[in-house]
Amino acid sequence: MTLTKINFITGNKNKLTEVRAILGSVIEVDNQAVDVPEIQGTIEEIAKEKARRAAEAVSLMCLLLQRACEPVVPKEVSLTAHALDQWAGVDGGYGAGIPRAEESPGASLGHEGLNKMLDGFDDRTAEAVCTFAFCRGPGEEPILFQGRTVLGSDEHAQGSIVRPRGPTNFGWDPIFEYEGQTYAEMEKEAKNRISHRYKALVKFQQWLAEGQQ
């Protein structure tokens, strides 16, 4: 069955606008601000579990409202500081306490807290990863679309954590520097060429355009 609408799981207007700008040509994007409890694990495990729980919550809401229910698409973002990852001895950015900072700049360590922790390390390199998880409904297996910060064909390009520079209205963009600029300092077009979020959304867009093969 051809999809005509999805529920992007967010209460953030900036993130909704970004998703609509990229996916709007192939599908209608609505949003639901569903509170999904955080779990620990790899970014892929977290994204899938978020999708399952969001699908259950939205399905229940649709049942109560007696209306049709569209597939859900939550997002999980990881900013992995390599020094903290090695120090913590766990997988991915979650061990460094960073993913929540993408959703709320003041959550978890926060901009300044992360910088202070890294002051004790020589290595300030980091990798940004974004995973969108598409789930048709309760009991369905989520499908993942992942993007990483890269430049051209270099799939292993890295950024670094710096003191905040630029606007502070989009997660940890002000502290993630890539090629001499933080994400917050970049023009939108330049950022989209390397952005982990943009690349994940483009993969999802292509999948939708191909008829969900």
pLDDT tens digits, 12-33: 888 888 888 888 888 999 988 8
Separation CA 30–CA 209 (nearest Å): 18
Judged against a pLDDT cut of 70, whether residue 157 lies above it is answered with no
Hey, which CATH number is domain 5-209, 3.90.950.10, 3.20.20.10, 3.40.50.11310, 2.40.50.100? 3.90.950.10
Between the CA of residue 164 and those of 15, 21, 72, 89, 111, what are the distances in Å?
20, 27, 33, 26, 7
pLDDT in tens, 105-126: 334 567 888 888 888 888 888 8
> Which amino acid is it at 63?
L
Tell me the domain boundaries of the chain: 5-209
Q: What are phi and psi of 156, to 5 degrees?
A: -120, 15
Q: In whole angstroms, give the CA distance from residue 21 to residue 16.
A: 9
Tell me the three state secondary structure of residue 47.
Answer: helix
Check pLDDT > 60 for residue 103.
Answer: no
